[in-house]
Amino acid sequence: MKQVDVAIIGGGPAGMTAAIELAAGGAKLSVIDAYPQLGGHYFKQSPKELMQQEADVTDGRQAEYRSLVNAVDKKNIEILSDTAVWSIFLNEEGTIEGQNNGRPDKATGFTLHLQGPHDVASLQARYLLLAPGAYDRPMAFPGWHLPGVITPGGAQMLLKGYGILPGKRVLVAGSGPLLLAVGAGLAEAGAEVVAVLDAASMWDGAFKIPAVFWGQKERVKDAWKYWSTLKRKQIPLLFGHAIFRALGEDAVTAAVYGRVDAQGRPIKQSEMVVEVDTICVALGFLPNLALTRHLECEHTYNATLDTFYPRYADTMETTVPNVFVAGDVTGVGGKDMSKLQGRAAGLSILGKLGYLSGEQVKSRLQPLQTGFQREERFIRMLQDRLQARPGLFEVIDDDTFICSCEMVTAGRIKAAIDDGAQDIRGVKLRTRCGMGACQGRYCESNVAHLISQATNRPRETVGTMSIRPPLIPILAGNILE
Amino acid sequence: MSDQQNQPALPVATRLHPRNNAGAIQVIINGKQVSACRGETVAVALLLSGRRIFTQASRYNLNRTLFCGMGVCHQCLVTVDGVRDVRACMTKIRPGMKIETRFKMEHSYETS
């Protein structure tokens, strides 16, 4: 079986930066990425076959991406693209042979099982760096299961990755900075964007944190660019607004939206109906916890964002020894935070491998601190804008699907709670909610809220979904191999 | 619902750039040859061929299709070359690939 020092899972900004750092330090590594091209969602790239022309070098983001890719290429880092990890096991003691500071050494390490076009079905690694990123946090409302409702991330993927316009008349709604980018992107590409709705008020977070925009030239420039596109195309950007319902038989034909108060409670009198064929909606992001949960890392609950995150030390190591994390899986940090964390994790692992001394690791981590502080200020502002607004759940009626995999409605979940279910486990046993193909990735946040509201208990006490291998549906034959 | 399987409606999703003919390949969607582009995913090929619905579940006539677009939500599962439950958004098309949408989900435990 193939053996490496480090397996990096996720080839976005965090994974790429870590890979460059590790390879420069002499570590042998593999990067496992689910997509055809490195870059993650931030640098979303087209598959090679679909590239239209040479990348636009005047685009700052493309230039940054090119320099990262060039560095990865130069280091001859093995990239397993289009590949999914469907399980990871802790090896028995002393399974992996390797080098520690030039001396032969045996370690415990991990065995990863992969599914992809490469000839590598499994891989052994002494250290793991998990950089699986985040995905759109679903917002449940009547009609959200209708074809035509997609996530902003999904829309970006179609638009930037495949050159596809997902719809002709589009409503963009939810909360978070991605909405602005998606609204502007769709409009530039020729869609009629009827409005961009953000549940946050315009100034949420902006003035509470001193010097929040200090050193954020790139973010301010991006926001300005998106905002001017919306302005030029006369697309209303409505703060303190949210979607109430999606209408349609087989697919979306219209959306009902209106004003919400600071808690997200819908203000019924402000209701408007607009004809659309597509609705892009999400409430910020959820970290992709499939791997950290599968490996039984400890998680902590962030009440502002209503999300769990893996616990990690300054070295980026989780509570499971030799498992490191970096990037948006640790919070909604964005690209710069991801790169900083990727570097920090890379340096720490080099220290563990013996390629750097403890002193060297310390002195190289030190200069990253200013960056970390700058990003943390910004993240506090983002948290304010993305904070959980319990009132947004008021639009959910008994027929609203909560778990689409197993087709469980809010009404059935309420019935399960009346029947005595006190937590996610209880609801799961009675309704199969969260037991479908997505393993609860897309219903957990909504189910948890419904339970905590109905039982009057804090969110963190009602439990979580458990994710088990295979993490994605695979052929039974692959398990036997 | 109309017979979406045989007569796809006009696609809501559209290509932004003219298709590069050098990359044109044929796939088979529900038994019919459809022209698509190398590098595209099954989900993209389905959307461009006019199918907004990938799967219809028996209960509540719940229609499933591309939702998250990044392999997380598992709503776009289709049958590819006879293999069930393949994520359309994460699977690249190959020449001659047989893609089947709209199998009825059979949930044997459902008695209600």
| A176 and A245 fall within a common domain | yes
Q: Residue B8: inside a domain, yes or no?
A: no
pLDDT at B17: 85
Residues of B in contact with A472 (CB under 8 A): 71, 74, 87
pLDDT at B9: 63
A325: domain range? 2-134+287-356
Q: Indicate yes or no: CB of A164 within 8 angstroms of CB of B44.
A: yes
Q: Indicate yes or no: CB of B73 within 8 angstroms of CB of A438.
A: yes
Q: Residue B16: inside a domain, yes or no?
A: no
Q: Which of B1, B42, B73 to mutate to test the interface with A (most CBs of A within 10 A)?
A: B73
| A269 and A155 fall within a common domain | yes
Q: Residue A104: inside a domain, yes or no?
A: yes
Q: Residue A33: inside a domain, yes or no?
A: yes
pLDDT at A384: 84
Q: Residue A436 and residue A465: Cα distance in Å, rounded?
A: 11
Q: Residue A470: inside a domain, yes or no?
A: no
Q: Residue B28: inside a domain, yes or no?
A: yes
Q: Residue B4: inside a domain, yes or no?
A: no
| A351 and A404 fall within a common domain | no
SS (H, E, C) chain B: CCCCCCCCCCCCCEECCCCCHHHEEEEEECCEEEEEECCCEHHHHHHHCCCCCCEEECHHHCEECCCCCCCCCCCCEEEECCEEEEEHHHCECCCCCEEECCCEECCCCCCC
Q: Residue B51: inside a domain, yes or no?
A: yes
Nearest to A437 among B67, B74, B109 (CB): B74
| A279 and A142 fall within a common domain | yes
CATH code: domain of residue A423:
1.10.10.1100
Q: Indicate yes or no: CB of A147 within 8 angstroms of CB of B87.
A: no
| A46 and A58 fall within a common domain | yes
| A202 and A254 fall within a common domain | yes
pLDDT at A340: 98
Residue A360, min C-alpha distance to chain B (Å): 39
Q: A173 and A182 in contact (C-beta within 8 Å)? A: no
Backbone angles phi, psi at A195, to 5 degrees: -175, 160
What is the count of structural domains for chain A? 3
Q: Residue A142: inside a domain, yes or no?
A: yes
Q: Indicate yes or no: CB of A149 within 8 angstroms of CB of B77.
A: no
Q: Residue B27: inside a domain, yes or no?
A: yes
Nearest CA in chain A to B82: A475
Neighbours of A481 (CB within 10 A): 8
Q: Indicate yes or no: CB of A153 within 8 angstroms of CB of B62.
A: no
Strands A307-310 and A96-100: unpaired
Residue A352, min C-alpha distance to chain B (Å): 33
Q: Residue A386: inside a domain, yes or no?
A: no
| Segments in chain A below pLDDT 50 | none
Q: Residue A391: inside a domain, yes or no?
A: no
pLDDT at A480: 66
- Each residue's pLDDT, cut to its tens digit, for chain B (112 residues) gives 444 454 456 678 999 888 777 889 999 999 999 999 999 999 999 999 999 899 887 677 788 999 999 999 999 999 999 998 899 999 999 999 999 987 555 443 443 3
CATH code: domain of residue B92:
3.10.20.440
Nearest CA in chain B to A41: B70
Q: Indicate yes or no: CB of A472 within 8 angstroms of CB of B71.
A: yes
Q: Indicate yes or no: CB of B68 within 8 angstroms of CB of A148.
A: no
Q: Which of A401, A438, A441, A445 to mutate to test the interface with B (most CBs of B within 10 A)?
A: A438
Q: Residue A479: inside a domain, yes or no?
A: no
Q: Residue B41: inside a domain, yes or no?
A: yes
What is the count of structural domains for chain B? 1
| A302 and A271 fall within a common domain | no
Nearest to A154 among B60, B66, B109 (CB): B66
Nearest to B70 among A149, A157, A473 (CB): A157
| A143 and A243 fall within a common domain | yes
B62: domain range? 21-103
Q: Indicate yes or no: CB of A149 within 8 angstroms of CB of B67.
A: yes
Q: Which of B72, B79, B86 to mutate to test the interface with A (most CBs of A within 10 A)?
A: B72
Q: Residue B6: inside a domain, yes or no?
A: no
| A182 and A272 fall within a common domain | yes
| A245 and A292 fall within a common domain | no
Nearest to A145 among B2, B37, B62 (CB): B62
Residue A413, min C-alpha distance to chain B (Å): 16
Residue B32 has, within 13 A of its CA and on its CB side, a CA count of: 10
Nearest CA in chain B to A45: B39
| A225 and A276 fall within a common domain | yes
Nearest CA in chain B to A282: B68
- DSSP string for residues in A295-354: TT--EEEETTTTEEEE-B-TT-BBSSTTEEE-SGGGSS-HHHHHHHHHHHHHHHHHHHHT
DSSP state of A266: B
Which helix or strand (DSSP H or E) is residue A383 part of?
A: helix A369-386
Residues of A in contact with B73 (CB under 8 A): 138, 151, 404, 438, 441-442
Q: Indicate yes or no: CB of B12 within 8 angstroms of CB of A48.
A: no
Strands A96-100 and A84-90: unpaired
Strands A29-32 and A401-403: unpaired
| A337 and A224 fall within a common domain | no
CATH code: domain of residue A267:
3.50.50.60
| Distances from the Cα of A177 to the Cα of A106, A120, A123, A136, A199, angstroms | 46, 38, 37, 12, 11
Q: Indicate yes or no: CB of B53 within 8 angstroms of CB of A47.
A: no
Q: Residue A85: inside a domain, yes or no?
A: yes
